[in-house]
Amino acid sequence: MLINGKWKKNTNGDLYKSFNPSNHEALGSIEDTSKEDILEAIESAYIAFDSWSKSSPYERSKLLYNAWKNILENQNSLAKLMTLEQGKTFKSAKAEVKYAADFLLWYAEEAKRIDGKFISSEKSGQKFITQKTPVGVVGAITPWNYPISMITRKVAPALAAGCTIVLKPSEYTPLCAIETFKIIQEVGFPCGVINLITPLKPDDTGELFTSDSRISKLTFTGSTRVGRLLASKSGYNLKRVSLELGGHAPFIIFPDADPVHAAKGLSAIKFLNSGQACISPNRIFVHENIKEIFVKTLHERVKNIKVGNGLDDRSMMGPLINEESIFKIESQVKDALEKGAKLIFGGKKINPNSLRKGYFYSPTIITDIKPNMKIYREETFGPVAPIISYKESNEAIKMANDTEYGLAAYIYTKEISLAMRTMEKLNFAIIGINDVNPTSSAIPFGGMSNSGLGREGGQEGIEEYLETKSIGIMT
């Protein structure tokens, strides 16, 4: 654990292991943070906040800039560790480390742009000033599916704003967090500014982050169920909250679109990270006139996806994170097939000898999906492409909006006016128009409805960590 600038052991002596999802081999032993350790980390951040919040934005910017350089210099080693602990391919892991570094660079620059403004008054001799100030100590909880970039997406804006932070990573990927914090801490952040805790179970962390008066803000990325619970507890104590939760992204292919191009785009994003992404397309709406060629093209691409250990250069898709993920996917696929869906490809756990111990599931295509099937309603978080055909454009938009989630959506069409009309009608916060990668450190990321509160990334991301003071002056 990193507490008050020092790497230390826990107070209770308990350890747990981190495992490789490709073969279930143990990668290392992790300190199981106790409640007392969490309280010590919070106190450390609370004490450090006084001086850190008063530091120069240029000082904070320089440290973040150096952290950006450090992450890039360690890109390969971090990517290899991520592949071992999380499972994604080495190529994807390297891309994520670059993405993680982007947030450090972006907020190194944003730190110097925190400013207020003068506002005129209707009264003669009166002036108003607004000033931005850091919100305080931040409690952060990050997920396993993007175990490094989700850390910097929270740490970078918090530090740029002048906040201190206590971060809990997923118990499935603690080694990624430990190495990331080592690399960031190396640049010289003052003691107590960044703190890392690694409990096996999240209960004490959630309870303290939402109740301890020294924590001013909670930021969480994870499931909607847990997000609701944390938000309700934080709300009782009137803490600032930002939540990036689940998604159930529609992927609408209009009749004028090139079905081959759309199929290539879908295969690129749907099976990235084995489908374990909150913005992964989960409902593919294809116009009936182009369904056949779309499915044929998708099938040709998917059957060539080599599944295996992410460190194997030939692998194009790695394992799922755990056995629970396999069970969930199997349940959704079985339910769909029993209710009339058609299996085009895959639909099973992969069990060759070399992969027997890993959590591998074949990339899967299912057609004839209906609203009464679980996969139509539930987020899959796995490599399954459920295809739904439609006749009218308004029908596709209506079905796309038929969900409790509002994170990401995708549109394929050659007609710009149709794309813009559809974009305005879709109840989603992130929309890709002929674009399967509508994300960047420079733009806000977050969801509507049950997909979350607040935004991460872009100019909006730093606002989540700032308060606004209004000052009236009579001259």
Please give the Cα distance from 391 to 5 (Å, whole number).
60
3-state secondary structure of 433: strand
Task: Please count the helices (runs of H) and the strands (runs of E) in the chain.
Answer: 15, 22
Residues 6+ apart with CB under 8 A from 123: none
Query: Would you say 385 and 366 are in contact if contact means Cβ atoms under 8 Å apart?
Result: yes
Closest by alpha carbon to 168, among 135, 136, 203, 199? 199
For 348-412, the three-class secondary structure string (H helix, E strand, C coil) is CECCCHHHCCCCCECCEEEECCCCCCHHHHCCCCCCEEEEEEECCHHHHHHHHCCCCEECEEEEE
Provide the CA 81 distance to its chain's centre, in angstroms.
19
**Angstrom distances, CA of residue 3 to CA of 11, 70, 196, 254, 336:** 12, 21, 7, 53, 48
**Angstrom distances, CA of residue 36 to CA of 11, 170, 193, 412:** 7, 19, 19, 52
Sole residue written with tokens 């952040």: 189
Query: Would you say 132 and 163 are in contact if contact means Cβ atoms under 8 Å apart?
Result: no
Please give the Cα distance from 89 to 87 (Å, whole number).
7
What radius of gyration, in Å, describes the C-alpha atoms of the chain?
23
Half-sphere exposure of 187 (CA within 13 A, CB side): 22
Of residues 110, 278, 456, 463, which has the active-site annotation?
A: 278
Where do the H-state alpha helices sit in 133-275?
149-161, 174-185, 203-211, 224-236, 259-270
Sole residue written with tokens 């999380």: 86
Provide the CA 175 distance to its chain's centre, in angstroms.
18
Asked if 244 is an active-site residue, the reply is yes
Of residues 244, 379, 463, 464, which has the active-site annotation?
A: 244
Please give the Cα distance from 253 to 263 (Å, whole number).
9
Closest by alpha carbon to 447, among 427, 463, 433? 427
Asked if 36 is an active-site residue, the reply is no
Residues 6+ apart with CB under 8 A from 304: none
Specify which residues 453 forms β-bridges with: 243
**Which residues carry out catalysis?**
244, 278
